[in-house]
């Protein structure tokens, strides 16, 4: 392999999307690649603020560099938090930002020119972009670079999600049950459609966007997935068959601790120490952890029923509580958003710990007293929970979360669904029953433990045999080396 002027064997560019759940897997991938191929430069395209935030983590990785791209999108219809962003804090901002992201194409093209110049005229060997920044394939190919999207969700859920947006007319029939021409045997019902899917019109921009992404994907040179073969082997096979390109399932791409990837600009939350000290007072598998991820929140009426149910269950809980939709993240929390006296009662009894805004999720899930995770089923939360052997109480709220929950419940048997979306009422009594069911049940915990072991095997070497994710990463690295020759 011929070295460029800089003496390196080549450059791999990683272009993540600036939402917390998308950025983390990219940073993990950067570490893995820089360890596997130290003769390559790994360049992460990021915003200035993100660079400041994550650079310390990479001090011991001299081959990881950062290139600044200002994520300023001049689209007046974008919400304020998407105008010049570090990480996005609401689902609607994320969706609209994706749609407008193609306007970054000229500045991304300039950035790749600079990277090429700095390596003596040799373009990057491969550009790995976020799954929804598929347009980067054209920039990559215009330089003669290869292109691979990194999917930060799994193929089971993404196939259903894509199929819904692609087959718009069928979705608009309002049938109770929906099937898909390209996914034989898969059925969902209308309650598993997100708000934006239910309200979509015939020529919806999301449909147009998803169809374009599928076209980009067909032009890419393969796909990387933050998933594990044991979770969804047949969906990975189907994806490989339908695209005719290699798929590499290299997950779970998880940080070692929440501290490594604190969210930029987040409001202060609780330190891991406070949470651990609180959890230390509770026996193994006795506490439910409640969180709706980095973007989703629930309306006041649902917060009140959830609070009633958690209290009625008699079980201990940690709840990451944030302002309901329609209220700014920085606005003060109002007492009337919870039942009267709730916080005082649960604190006095040591039954509950309310964490405002942000919690050290990985540390919490890793604690032996956690026995269940009431989750919105965002894919990172799913992987984090399963990799700690914690069963899930599903409450999907947006996008592909409904199909993550479906996979967990119907295919893997490690989840029961409590609710879907935020338009229907839940009942405190149902919450209490479900929390007790999962914390006291043996079967889901046993299955979760089996999955945890299998997921760990995927990233380990057992008796000289590498696990599936290590093998996939090896194969991807070999492919990149081959592309570089
Ligand atoms: C988004 C999308 O909404 C989801 O559909 C997709 O699967 C992933 O991206 P997000 O809210 O970011 O979801 O959820 P998730 O994927 O679960 O990621 C949240 C991350 O933030 C996790 O790594 C979690 O550990 C971390 N987190 C979240 C904290 O550390 N503390 C918190 O208080 C909340």
In this predicted model, what pLDDT tens digit does every residue of 462-473 receive, in sequence order?
999 999 999 999
Q: Residue 378 half-sphere exposure, CB side, CA atoms within 13 Å?
A: 17
Q: How confident is the model at residue 110 (pLDDT cuts 50, 70, 90)?
A: very high
Would the pLDDT of 98 be above 80? no
Q: Is 58 in the pocket of ligand 1 (CB under 6 A)?
A: no
Pocket test residue of 17, 20, 269 for ligand 1, highest count of atoms within 8 A of CB: 20
Is this complex's ipTM strictly greater than 0.95?
yes
Instruction: Convert the pLDDT of each residue in 398-435 to its tens digit.
Output: 999 999 999 999 999 999 999 999 998 999 999 999 99
Report the candidate in 213, 40, 190, 197 with the shortest Cα–Cα distance to residue 126. 40
Is pLDDT at 280 greater than 60 in this prediction?
A: yes
Residue 380 CA to ligand 1 center (angstroms) comes to 6
Of 253, 262, 255, nearest to 360 by C-alpha is: 262
Q: Relative to the CA of 19, which ligand 1 atom is closest?
A: 12
Following DSSP, what letter does each residue of 58-107 receive, concatenated? GTT-TTEEEEE---B---TTS-GGGTB-SS--SHHHHHHHHHHGGGGHHH
221 C-beta closer than 6 A to ligand 1: no
Q: Is the CB of 405 under 6 A from ligand 1?
A: no
Domains of the chain, by residue range, sit at 10-251+462-483, 266-456
Residue 22 Cα to ligand 1 middle (Å) = 8
Phi, psi of 14 (to 5 degrees): -110, 125
- The stretch 282-305 carries a mean pLDDT of 96
Beta strands in 233-300 (DSSP E): 247-249, 287-291
Q: Does ligand 1 come within 6 angstroms of the Cβ of 384?
A: yes
Query: Ligand 1 centre and the CA of 259: distance in Å?
Result: 14
Ligand 1 centre to CA of 381 (Å) is 6
pLDDT digits (tens, 9 = 90+) for 382-402: 999 999 999 999 999 999 999
H or E segment and range at residue 188: strand 183-189
Cα–ligand 1 centroid distance for 20 (angstroms): 7
How far, rounded to the nearest angstrom, does the alpha carbon of residue 255 sit from its chain's CA centroid? 13
Which whole number is the average pLDDT over 290-311?
Answer: 96
- Answer yes or no: is the C-beta of 24 below 6 A from any ligand 1 atom: yes
Nearest residue by C-alpha to atom 13 in ligand 1: 378
Q: Is residue 364 a contact partner of residue 279, using CB atoms and an 8 Å limit?
A: yes
CA atoms within 13 A on the CB side of 49: 16
CATH class entry, domain 266-456: alpha beta
Give the position, in ligand 1's atom list, of the atom nearest the Cα of 358: 33
88 lines ligand 1 (CB under 6 A): no
Of all residues in the chain, the percent with pLDDT exceeding 90 is 66
Ligand 1 and 295: CB distance under 6 A: yes
Write down the H helix ranges in 314-427.
342-348, 361-366, 379-387, 401-406
Ligand 1 centroid distance, CA of 6 (Å): 38
Give the C-alpha distances (Å, rounded to integers) separating 230 from 187, 233, 251, 450: 22, 6, 11, 11
Q: What pLDDT shows up at residue 104? A: 83
Name the residue of 289, 293, 318, 386 whose CB sits within 8 Å of the most ligand 1 atoms, as the mutation to test its pocket: 293
3-state secondary structure of 52: helix
Q: Is the minimum distance from the CB of 439 to ligand 1 under 6 angstroms?
A: no
pLDDT range class, residue 273, cuts 50, 70, 90: confident
Give the residue, 195 or 111, on which the prediction is more confident.
111
pLDDT at 76: 57
Residue 1: pLDDT band with limits 50, 70, 90: very low
CA atoms within 13 A on the CB side of 404: 26
Sign for the pseudo-dihedral over CA of 430, 435, 441, 443: positive
The answer to whether the CB of 20 is under 6 A from ligand 1 is yes
Model pLDDT, residue 208: 85
Weakest-pLDDT range from 102-116, 140-154, 365-379, 446-460: 102-116
Whether this prediction's pTM lies above 0.95 is answered by: no
Atom index in ligand 1 nearest the CA of residue 359 equals: 33
Which helix (H) or strand (E) element contains residue 321? strand 316-321
pLDDT confidence band for 172 (50 / 70 / 90) = low
**Binding site membership of 400 for ligand 1 (Cβ less than 6 Å):** yes
**Fold match, 10-251+462-483 / 266-456:** yes
C-alpha 236 to ligand 1 mean position (Å): 22
Q: Does domain 10-251+462-483 match CATH 3.40.50.2000?
A: yes
Nearest CA residue ID for atom 25, ligand 1 = 361
How confident is the model at residue 117, as a pLDDT? 95
Instruction: Name the 3-class secondary structure at 37.
Output: coil
Interval 180-192 mean pLDDT: 90
pLDDT tops 90 at residue 49: no
Which residues partner with 321 through β-bridges? 356
Task: List all residues 6 or more positions away from 10 whose beta carbon is below 8 Å from its beta carbon.
Answer: 1, 4, 40, 41, 119, 122, 124, 125, 480, 484
pLDDT of residue 221: 98
Torsion of Cα atoms, 440 then 257 then 133 then 379, to 10°: -10
Strand bridging mode 352-356 / 316-321 = parallel
Name the most confidently modeled range: 87-96, 189-198, 335-344.
335-344
Whole-angstrom distance, CA of residue 328 vs CA of residue 51: 25
Q: How confident is the model at residue 6 (pLDDT cuts 50, 70, 90)?
A: low
Q: Does any ligand 1 atom lie closer than 6 A to the CB of residue 396?
A: no
- Our answer on whether the CB atom of 272 is closer than 6 Å to any ligand 1 atom is no
**Pocket lining: 320 vs ligand 1, CB cutoff 6 Å:** yes
């Amino acid at each position: 392999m011929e070295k460029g002027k800089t003496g390196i064997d080549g450059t791999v560019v990683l272009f993540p999307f600036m939402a917390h759940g998308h950025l983390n897997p990219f940073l993990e991938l950067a570490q893995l690649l820089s360890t596997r191929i130290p003769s390559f430069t790994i360049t992460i395209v990021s915003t200035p603020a993100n660079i400041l935030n994550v650079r310390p983590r990479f001090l011991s990785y001299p081959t990881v560099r950062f290139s600044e791209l200002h994520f300023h999108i001049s689209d007046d219809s974008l919400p304020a938090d998407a105008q010049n962003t570090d990480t996005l804090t609401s689902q609607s901002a994320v969706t609209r930002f994706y749609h407008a992201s193609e306007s970054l194409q000229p500045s991304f093209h300039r950035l790749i020119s600079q990277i090429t110049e700095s390596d003596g005229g040799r373009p990057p060997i491969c550009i790995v972009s976020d799954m929804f920044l598929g347009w980067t394939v054209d920039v990559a190919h215009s330089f003669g670079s290869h292109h691979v999207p990194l999917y930060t969700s799994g193929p089971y859920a993404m196939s259903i999600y894509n199929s819904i947006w692609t087959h718009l007319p069928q979705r608009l029939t309002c049938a109770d049950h929906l099937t898909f021409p390209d996914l034989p045997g898969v059925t969902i019902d209308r309650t598993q459609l997100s708000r934006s899917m239910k309200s979509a019109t015939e020529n919806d921009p999301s449909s147009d966007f998803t169809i374009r992404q599928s076209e980009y994907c067909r032009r890419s040179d393969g796909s990387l997935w933050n998933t594990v073969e044991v979770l969804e082997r047949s969906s990975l096979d189907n994806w490989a068959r339908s695209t005719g390109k290699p798929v590499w399932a290299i997950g779970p791409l998880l940080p070692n601790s929440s501290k490594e990837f604190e969210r930029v600009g987040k409001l202060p939350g609780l330190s891991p120490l406070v949470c651990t000290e609180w959890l230390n007072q509770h026996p193994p598998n006795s506490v439910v952890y409640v969180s709706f991820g980095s973007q989703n929140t629930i309306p006041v009426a649902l917060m009140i029923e959830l609070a009633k149910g958690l209290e009625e269950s008699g079980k201990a809980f940690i709840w990451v509580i944030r302002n309901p939709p329609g209220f700014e993240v920085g606005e003060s929390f109002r007492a009337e958003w919870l039942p009267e006296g709730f916080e005082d009662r649960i604190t006095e009894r040591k039954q509950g710990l309310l964490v405002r805004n942000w919690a050290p999720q990985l540390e919490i899930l890793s604690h032996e007293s956690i026995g269940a995770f009431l989750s919105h089923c965002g894919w990172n939360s799913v992987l984090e929970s399963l990799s700690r052997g914690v069963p899930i109480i599903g409450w999907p709220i947006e996008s592909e979360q409904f199909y993550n929950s479906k996979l967990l419940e119907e295919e893997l048997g490690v989840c029961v669904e409590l609710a879907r979306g935020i338009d229907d009422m839940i009942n405190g009594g149902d919450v209490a029953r479900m929390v007790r069911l999962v914390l006291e049940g043996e079967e889901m915990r046993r299955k979760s433990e089996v999955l945890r072991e299998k997921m760990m095997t995927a990233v380990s070497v057992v008796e000289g045999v590498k696990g599936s994710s290590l093998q996939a990463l090896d194969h991807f690295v070999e492919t990149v080396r081959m592309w570089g020759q």
